[in-house]
Amino acid sequence: MMSRWTLLVLIVALASSVTPLAAEQPAPVPPPSPSFRVGPGDRLEILVWRDDYLSRETVVQPDGFLTFPLIGDVSVRGLTIPEVRTEITRRVREFLPEAQVSVILKEINSYNIYVLGKVNKPGQYKMSQPINVMQALAMAESFARFASPGDIKIIRRIGNNHQAISFNYNEVEKGKNLEQNIELVSGDVVVVP
């Protein structure tokens, strides 16, 4: 018969060798907002129903293309997830007319925003999911001395043009004009004068 001491040592040894399953799996990516646009470095899982050969995970290349079996290179930069699914489905159906395609965003690596000016921690912020202006300002660790929080601008590139969007922190903080607290898109620059 095993002694209590031996049994205790055996139980401790077994318990310490077990790793929790949750620690081995990466945290799931929250569903992207409808306005999220795919960019270089994003990881997508593309599933073609009943076709294990075509189903796979892929990373968007720096040029904005992904390579997919049967259909080759597909330009996905700037497309929403539903638009990516529509484009891949259209092209796969040229070869497999009944194909059903799903696209899942597995990892966001293309979402960068910038906070500049009179904040305590200016710089580039690489995000794993979209954020709004207030969240970006919180990441920049609030305002530096002599900042003008009522006169913030968000500079957004639209095609070859730039748009300046006004943001009044003082109003939003008081619960007024909350529509100013917009979701930032990759490449947006928040400027605090």
Q: What is the pLDDT of residues 27-40, one digit of tens each?
A: 556 666 777 889 99
Numbered ranges of CATH 3.10.560.10 in the chain = 111-192
Q: Is the pLDDT of residue 155 over 50?
A: yes
Q: How sure is the predictor about 128, in pLDDT bands with cuts at 50, 70 and 90?
A: confident
Q: How sure is the predictor about 100, in pLDDT bands with cuts at 50, 70 and 90?
A: very high
Q: How sure is the predictor about 16, in pLDDT bands with cuts at 50, 70 and 90?
A: low
Which residues does 68 contact at the CB level (< 8 Å), separation at least 6? 46, 54, 56, 58, 74, 88
Question: Which CATH entry fits the domain spanning 111-192: 2.60.40.10, 3.30.70.270, 3.10.560.10, 3.30.70.20?
Answer: 3.10.560.10
Domain spanning 43-107: CATH superfamily:
wza like domain (3.30.1950.10)
Which residues does 34 contact at the CB level (< 8 Å), separation at least 6? 80
How far apart CA 124 and CA 182 sit, in angstroms, is: 18
How far apart CA 158 and CA 188 sit, in angstroms, is: 10
Count of other CB atoms within 10 angstroms of residue 189:
18
Q: How sure is the predictor about 12, in pLDDT bands with cuts at 50, 70 and 90?
A: low
**Three-state DSSP string of 15-83:** HHHCCCHHHHCCCCCCCCCCCCCCCCCCEEEEEECCCCCCCEEEECCCCCEEEECCCEEEECCCCCHHH
pLDDT the model gives residue 21: 47
Averaged confidence pLDDT in the chain = 87
- Going by C-alpha positions, the residue among 128, 158, 142, 125 that lies closest to residue 192 is 142
Which of these ranges, 90-94, 105-109, 138-142, 179-183, has the smallest mean pLDDT?
Answer: 105-109
Strand partners, 45: 57, 104
Numbered ranges of CATH 3.30.1950.10 in the chain = 43-107
